[in-house]
Amino acid sequence: MKSTPNQLLDYRCRLASPTSLGRSGVSQMYHSHVLAGEGYIILQELFPQLKDKLLNEYDVRDYSLKTECRFVVNGFVLNQDLTEDFLWLGIDRFTLETVMRKELCLQYGNQIEWKCNSRVVQLIVDQSLNIVKGIKYRQKHHVDSSSIDLYGDFIIDCTGRNTSSVKWLKERFNLIVPTIQIHFGAGYVTFVGERFKTGDPSLDSKHIIGYGLSPPDKNTGVGIIPIHEIKTMDENSLGTLSTFTLQCANYEYPPNDSYENLLEWIKEKLDPEYYSIFKSTKVCSPLVSYRRAIDDRKCVEQL
C-alpha cells in the first residue's frame, strides 16, 4: 500500500507467479482487463481526485475509442464508425486496485477496518429466523488458530465466483442454488511488453488493439492495452508499456512456456498483422497463464 508507482509497476513486471504476492485468490488480476466506459465514469464519480492522480503520478492516460483503438470482430473494424466517442483508461488492474485501496483508506480510514490474510470459513445463522447473522473467519497464517466471530446487520458476499456461500447455505438452510455447468475452455496468456513500430502506420497509430473471439468458428483473440507511458530515446518505440493478452475459447489454449512458442501459436491462429505486432514487441514480464475449462453459472434469480 505504501509502494510508489514505479515500485508497483516493477513488482507487476517481475511477477514470478500470479499468486506469489498480492491478493492470492484473484489470479485474474494480473491479466489484461478493460475498464469499460461506464465503469470509468463511476470511478470518477466515486473518486473525483483519482483521475488527476493517475495521470500525473502513475503515467497512465485515457485513450479515444474512436481514433486510438482498433477493435475487430469477424473481420469488421467496429470502433471507427462510432457516433459518440468513449474514453478508455489505459491502466493495469493490479495498479488500479492498489491505488483504489489507498484512496479508500485515505477517504474512509476511520470508518473501514481491513482484515487482511483472513479467510471466511462459515456463516453464523439463526435457522429459526431464517437469517444469516454473521461470519466466522480464520487468519490464513495460523491455520490451527480457532475461528473468530464477526456479526453484521448487512452482509455481502464478495468472494467471487468460487464462493463457498452456495455450499454453506445448503448445509445451514437446505437452500439449493440452481447452477448450470458451462464448458467453454477459456484461456488467457498475459504479459507486459513494450511495442515497437511494425512499419504499418495503421497498426502503429493504434494504442488499443482488440480482436474479438467469435466461437465456435474463431476461438482465438487478442487484446493490447497501454498501461504506462515511458520516456525512451528509441524512436522505434511507441513510448508505452502495454498488457498483451492472447485468449481462447473451446480449449485452443495459448502456450506460456516460451515466447517463441507463443509466437508460433499466434502465427498459426491469428491474422498476420497480429503476428507482426507481437514480433515487434519486447517482453518485460513473465507470461502469466489462466485457464478455466468449466464454469458453474449460479441461477439465483430462480430462487
Ligand X SMILES: Cc1cc2nc3c(=O)[nH]c(=O)nc-3n(C[C@H](O)[C@H](O)[C@H](O)COP(=O)(O)OP(=O)(O)OC[C@H]3O[C@@H](n4cnc5c(N)ncnc54)[C@H](O)[C@@H]3O)c2cc1C
Question: For binding to ligand X (CB under 6 A), which residues are involved?
Answer: 23, 25-26, 28, 31, 33-34, 119-120, 158-160, 164, 188, 290
Residues comprising the chain, all counted: 303
Residue pair 284/193 in contact (Cβ under 8 Å)? The answer is: yes
| Nearest-approach distance from CB 32 to ligand X, in angstroms | 6
Q: Looking at beta carbons only, is 159 or 232 nearer to ligand X? A: 159
| Nearest-approach distance from CB 210 to ligand X, in angstroms | 10
| Nearest-approach distance from CB 200 to ligand X, in angstroms | 26
| Nearest-approach distance from CB 255 to ligand X, in angstroms | 16
Q: Looking at beta carbons only, is 25 or 199 nearer to ligand X? A: 25
Comparing every residue's Cβ against ligand X, the nearest one is: 25
Q: Looking at beta carbons only, is 187 or 193 nearer to ligand X? A: 187
| Nearest-approach distance from CB 278 to ligand X, in angstroms | 18
Q: Looking at beta carbons only, is 25 or 178 nearer to ligand X? A: 25
| Nearest-approach distance from CB 40 to ligand X, in angstroms | 11
Q: Looking at beta carbons only, is 31 or 228 nearer to ligand X? A: 31
Q: Looking at beta carbons only, is 198 or 247 nearer to ligand X? A: 247
| Residue 251, all three cell numbers | 480449449
- Strand-pairing partners, residue 296, are 181
